[in-house]
Chains A and B, each alone.
Chain A
Amino acid sequence: MTTYIFRRIIQTVLLLIVLSYVCFNLMTLMPGDPIELMISSNPKITTEDVARLREFYGLDQPTYVRYKNWISTLLEGDLGYSRTYRIPVAEMIGPALKYTFILSMCSLILSLAIAIPLGIYCALRPNSKFDYIVNLLSFAGISAPSFWLGIVLIIVFSVKLGWLPAGGYQTTGLVYDNIFSEILDKAKYLILPVVSLSIQSIGRFSRFARSAMMEAMRNDYIRTARAKGLSENIVIWNHGFRNALIPLITIVTLSLSSVFSGALITETLFAYPGAGRLIYTSIISNDFNVAMVSFIISISMVLVMSLIADLLYGVADPRISYE
């Protein structure tokens, strides 16, 4: 087990280096660079300014040299400087990751809390009226585009009913008396984006849970367990659900890997200052340092969560061995 984990960590680090180089190259291949964008917005910039700024930012160097400089700065613990926001990357990416994590985790927890019981309930009563209704709603949820859903939620709950704020993450300028009032204030800003994100996930997760559970409940050992006279609860949870866990572990760990990547459309619609919007803005504005750090975090999360998923398979199913 330890050897397996160690081997996977080494693979992860190597993969990370290769992927970061690929991403860096892809970034440099994009048309335009930070200076060209500056020239577009400032007609006063002279030829001398262009040469000076290119040299200043190291854009006159070959890509591999720039990558080497970037990685060595990163290894020194310096994430670089944002050319868009004019502050060190570490100072701006931290809050964005925190907000995205809160949004994504709330949505994931809510989705799992609703979708898994729903999926299991439907699997245990296939083709019932309830199952049909849940199936219909699941497909509706999966099919609804998030930008449309977000706008509908804003129009209904913010504009028409006036119950919830249309965007942001807290009441700007409000001074909180205590932690409870802060949590309450921030919670109301989370409701619409969380619901918007969760509606799709609930549909997806409940479909997965239903099919995994149905598959598990069709196995011979379920019939054997029932024949042995075990209670229905033990048959469902100890024999059925445990065997349905493997596909669920895959989907949950993969979803967890994106908790720091952000949800661009939802964050933009609800003016939520998360990492998704930050990554998008940094790519559009050629803010290499921010974009690269964001890529590294996203890639690392996918790799780490894949490793965790592999380890959890062994926990859920003792037949899986890592020797």
Chain B
Amino acid sequence: MKKISLTLLATIVSALLITTSCTKKDSAGSASTETNRYSNNELKIGISQEFETFNPLISNMMATTYMSRMVLRGLTTINADGKWIPQLVKEVPSFENKKASIKKVNGKDRVVAEWEILDNATWGDGTPVTCADFDFATKVAASNNVSIPDKETYSQVEKISWDEKNPKKCTFTYDKVRWDFYMLGTFFPVPKHLEEPVFKKYGSQKEGYEKNSLYTKDPTNVGLYNGPYVVSRIQLGDHVTFIPNSKFYGEAPKIKKIIVKLIPNTGTLEANLRSGTIDLISTMGFALDQALAFEKKVKEEKLGYQVLFQPSTVYEHIDLNLDNPFLKDIKVRKALLYSINKDDLVNALFEGKQQPAIHLITPKDPWYTDDPSKVTLYKYNKREADRLLDEAGWKMGEDGFRTKDGKKLSFTIMTTAGNKTRELVQVYLQNQWKQVGIDVTAKNEPARVFFGETTRKRKFDSMALFAWVSSPESSPKVTLHSSKIPSAKNGYSGQNQMGWVNKKVDDLTTQLEAELDHSKRVSMVHEILKYYTDEVPVIPLYYRSDVAVIPTQMKGYRLTGHQFPETNDIEKWSLE
């Protein structure tokens, strides 16, 4: 018995010794200060979100978007400075450069734009990227057998035509007159020479194309990609390996191998970074509180990392349910806003790394304004909040809460359970509102219930705390127009979850989509913002920041803060 136990123990110990000795040489160990372990030979990026296959027509996940920008380039994108720039094309068409115009097509006004693809833009197998690839993408997207999440991206282009002698000069005819015709950041070409046979064979079957697409069946086929890198290995749920695309039209990428590794538990991201399993934590990694804590460690322990904070287009706010009888009163809504000290909130909870919000347009957006003559600003003013509530008939009781007609001024604030930052904000707000006699109770739900049911179907009693992710210059119609109030009638597809109805805002958001003059559009947006800040259908809280951790020696890495991630410039990244 003793002998068996000893033999077993000896076997386990030797196995441990063998494997750990093999580990030591390629592990960084406690190499947090060894910044020279990095070179352009390899970069391992940690992400915490799941990803899917890279077919640009059907992929929908954030992590896939992050990675697909390494291998796929589209017509245009927004750079880190927030400007629309060309990618696969020579220039972005506009009415000013005469590359776009309004023409009569079949008796109707249409925008017609010329997109000229770069001469050296090719797929990874050397086949040139042509107008036919964009045309093929629109054909696949139009199929009823393919599950495209957002058809409008492709269906807005009614027709793509080109001269066979110059297959790189494409004429796009749009479905209507629209000013945002050039915002085709998610309009990707699909390699016709590879995918057309698949579509022809399986396109008539339901989900036949996506099941048999080469992006699914042969994802390491270099011909599927036109970006600076190609996929050399993909294992869903674990990692993707990228190597440079020798046929890339632009600047040659400097890093010879990039591995994106999925680490689903954000709590272990730091351990993975410090142990050398990963070299960089992407924007889909740390939560802000983790980044703040890690930044302190970096300074105290002089670790070889840099924690980056970048203001983003994510708007954290509280949607008020305007069907709630207490919230119908504008004075109560304004009092709620006056009683929040947002400067103190962002300093206390985020060390000032996130900016207080004043309305739904973020500072990254050219439409943003904080001009008091254009929008109503609410600086913390407890006295004003008390005055408004008194005026509204809510009298302070002995218990420190206000009542009217025997009813207590009480609300429920709901958010996603388990989100530490939001739970802290809830507690902070509860305390602030208590100071003016408003009783607020927190009720949180798992994200899938909160977003899938409660906010979608307006099942929150009074307040819902969450964030909107937008892109610069996006139409606010979907969140503000009265036709976008979710209901069974519209399949709960709108996002005006407040139930806000303002005829002027309805007109302005509709007109905005057709207004071709930039300065007029800006004026219209500011007019919308005036109504928005005057009537307070929403309580703005703060604009979120993106965070990432990079090795100190890394160069060329810039966070963007919007939905077109930093990987759009991956060819500029260097570790030497």
Q: What is the CB-to-nearest-CB distance from B455 to chain A, in angstroms, rounded to a whole number? A: 8
A87-B268 in contact (CB<8A): no
In B39-90, which residues have CB < 8 Å from any A CB?
A: 42, 44, 50, 52-53, 55, 58-62
A39-B456 in contact (CB<8A): yes
B interface residue numbers (CB < 8 A to A): 1, 4-5, 8, 12, 15-16, 18-20, 22-24, 26-31, 42, 44, 50, 52-53, 55, 58-62, 144, 147, 149-153, 206-207, 210-211, 216, 233, 235-239, 241, 257, 259, 261-265, 267-268, 271-272, 274-277, 448-449, 451-456, 468, 470, 478-479, 490-493, 495
In Å, the complex CA distance between A240 and B147 comes to 63
B452-A172 in contact (CB<8A): no
Given the interface pairs A114-B8, A158-B275, A173-B42, the reply to whether A268 lies near B264 with Cβ below 8 Å is yes
In Å, the complex CA distance between A305 and B453 comes to 39
Q: Which residue of A lies closest to B264 (CB)?
A: A268
In Å, the complex CA distance between A284 and B26 comes to 36
Q: What is the CB-to-nearest-CB distance from A10 to chain B, in angstroms, rounded to a whole number? A: 35
- A218 contacts partner chain B, Cβ-Cβ < 8 Å: no
Given the interface pairs A86-B216, A166-B275, the reply to whether A173 lies near B259 with Cβ below 8 Å is yes
Q: Which residue of B lies closest to A82 (CB)?
A: B52
B29-A47 in contact (CB<8A): no
Sort chain A's interface into a size bin.
Answer: 35 or more
In Å, the complex CA distance between A158 and B164 comes to 60
In Å, the complex CA distance between A113 and B261 comes to 34
Given the interface pairs A113-B8, A184-B18, the reply to whether A162 lies near B53 with Cβ below 8 Å is no
B20-A164 in contact (CB<8A): yes
| Interface residues of chain A: helix, strand, loop or mixed (majority) | helix
B52-A84 in contact (CB<8A): yes
A117-B20 in contact (CB<8A): no
Q: What is the CB-to-nearest-CB distance from B152 to chain A, in angstroms, rounded to a whole number? A: 6
Partner of A37, one of B24, B207, B261, B452: B452
- A38 contacts partner chain B, Cβ-Cβ < 8 Å: yes
Given the interface pairs A81-B207, A117-B8, the reply to whether A92 lies near B237 with Cβ below 8 Å is yes
Q: Which residue of B lies closest to A41 (CB)?
A: B60
In Å, the complex CA distance between A191 and B470 comes to 44
B492-A36 in contact (CB<8A): yes
- A27 contacts partner chain B, Cβ-Cβ < 8 Å: no
Partner of A271, one of B22, B29, B210, B264: B264
Q: What is the CB-to-nearest-CB distance from A22 to chain B, in angstroms, rounded to a whole number? A: 20
In Å, the complex CA distance between A304 and B533 comes to 64
- A133 contacts partner chain B, Cβ-Cβ < 8 Å: no
Q: Which residue of B lies closest to A269 (CB)?
A: B265
Given the interface pairs A42-B149, A167-B272, the reply to whether A277 lies near B453 with Cβ below 8 Å is no
Given the interface pairs A47-B490, A47-B493, A81-B211, the reply to whether A38 lies near B149 with Cβ below 8 Å is yes
In Å, the complex CA distance between A164 and B21 comes to 9
- A56 contacts partner chain B, Cβ-Cβ < 8 Å: yes
A47-B491 in contact (CB<8A): yes
- A145 contacts partner chain B, Cβ-Cβ < 8 Å: no
Return the CB mask of A246-263 against B: 1 if under 8 Å, else 0.
000000000000000000
Enumerate chain B residues within 8 angstroms of A49, measured Cβ to Cβ: 149-152, 493
- A178 contacts partner chain B, Cβ-Cβ < 8 Å: no
Q: Which residue of A lies closest to B20 (CB)?
A: A163
A40-B271 in contact (CB<8A): no
A31-B52 in contact (CB<8A): no
Q: Which of B16, B23, B31 has the most CB of A within 10 A?
A: B23
B448-A154 in contact (CB<8A): no
A162-B238 in contact (CB<8A): no
Partner of A162, one of B153, B275, B493: B275
